Amino acid sequence: MTSLTGLNYCQVDVFTHEALAGNGLAVFLPESPLPARVMQRLTIEMRQFESIFLTPDGPGSRFEARIFTMEEELDFAGHPLLGAAGLLHHLHAPQQAEAEWTLMLGTRAVKLGTTRHEGKPGTYDASMNQGAASFQPALSRADSRPFLAALNLEEAQLDVRFPLQVVSTGLPYLLVPAAGGLERAKIVHPDFEALLATVGAKFAYVLDVAAREGRTWDNAGLVEDIATGSAAGPVGAYLRHHRAATAGETIILKQGRFVGRPSKITVAANTVGEMLVSGGVVVLAHGRLV
């Protein structure tokens, strides 16, 4: 097995400005790329919803990034990228008020900006341009019923003003608009991932449209995500598309209340409709494998 002696990593909290809140993240900093099986095992060891691995991609502010859940590698995820950018500012540009970073996810270059919080050491704001959202056709009421049942929801809890719809800015989410009742939502389907695949979705996100609050889980329904940056872009685009938000509005999306880690994600759109997602980052701890 690849030697991990001396491998540096950090723990950060994302979508918060307070330590021990928001969505925790392990950021590994190998000097050269690690095998995928090793990154997967390290992620399982840390037991965070996701971990990110960064290796320098030439001089300057460009890094290769790979993101893993405890089950698999992801092509895209929000809170690991934002958390990684905040940490890079902390490590590589501590004297700068602002910085920019490029994280390469395969062939996709993700541009991120960070701003240091004055008076709060180790605290940053990070933002990313997720690009324009893509929409699949809205589900009919009949086609929506299996997904409502799989999420332990009744039709009466659906916000009938809006449809279930798959939206993506890199990771396709089935957005499920609810009119309250988030406390009831949970995955009760024995093979939810296969059900989602029938509509081209990777995950589901239950959204209380009026409260601007959401919930999502791993597809086994065992782990609830605290704050989901990769869903925030699709949610913002969905709200604008269905006129639940104005074109120039900045949306504050709440998540994490049901797992005791309340978080806030900021979502806006630029003049060409690309979704901008941002949130706080707190650098919590540094570690090294022995």
Query: SS3 for 82?
Result: helix
User: Which amino acid, one-letter code, is at 5?
Assistant: T
Q: Which residues pair with 265 in a beta bridge?
A: 253
Give me the domains of the chain, ranges plus CATH numbers. Answer: 8-129+280-288 (3.10.310.10), 134-273 (3.10.310.10)
Burial tier of 249 (Cβ tally within 10 Å: 0-12, 13-18, 19+)? middle
Q: What's the confidence (pLDDT) of residue 203?
A: 98
| Residue numbers of the chain with a pLDDT score lower than 50 | none
Q: What's the confidence (pLDDT) of residue 2?
A: 85
Q: What's the confidence (pLDDT) of residue 58?
A: 84
Structure pTM?
A: 0.93
25: closest CA among 36, 40, 14, 41?
Answer: 14
Residue 190 CB: number of other CB atoms within 10 A?
10
Cα–Cα distance, 185 to 156 (Å, whole number): 13
Q: What's the confidence (pLDDT) of residue 1?
A: 64
